[in-house]
Amino acid sequence: EDQVTQSPEALRLQEGESSSLNCSYTVSGLRGLFWYRQDPGKGPEFLFTLYSAGEEKEKERLKATLTKKESFLHITAPKPEDSATYLCAVQGIGANDYKLSFGAGTTVTVRA
């Protein structure tokens, strides 16, 4: 069974204080790793898909990287509007390759 563990559970940052979120996963074969942003009371918003180790993707102050066992979401010089819960999900290869397995998320709070 695919498993995803995100750490830390919560992260409090000062504006401009860069940091990283971790997503550790176990899957028999990786079809894709997905990052989403979720604001309170709203649906997740798609950020990135990573497919193979060594791949990196960037969007504004966010950069996602992937290894064979984990993914990092780096937040560079965060602003208060980056405050949200960040979700990681994996999709494995096989009979259940439609399915996303989600971590519990990391809640990021950025103070001005």
Partner 1 sequence: DGGITQSPKYLFRKEGQNVTLSCEQNLNHDAMYWYRQDPGQGLRLIYYSQIVNDFQKGDIAEGYSVSREKKESFPLTVTSAQKNPTAFYLCASSDTNTDTQYFGPGTRLTVL
Residues that bind partner 1 (CB under 8 A): 4, 31-32, 34, 36, 41-46, 49, 87, 89, 91, 98-105
Yes or no: say if 112 and 13 are a contact pair by the CB < 8 Å rule.
Answer: no
Minimum CB–partner distance for residue 43 and partner 1 (Å): 4
- Measured from the CB atom, the residue of 53 and 104 that comes closer to partner 1 is 104
Q: Which is nearer to partner 1, 81 or 98 (CB)?
A: 98
Question: Least distance from C-beta 46 to partner 1, angstroms?
Answer: 6
Least spacing, CB of residue 32 vs partner 1, in Å: 6
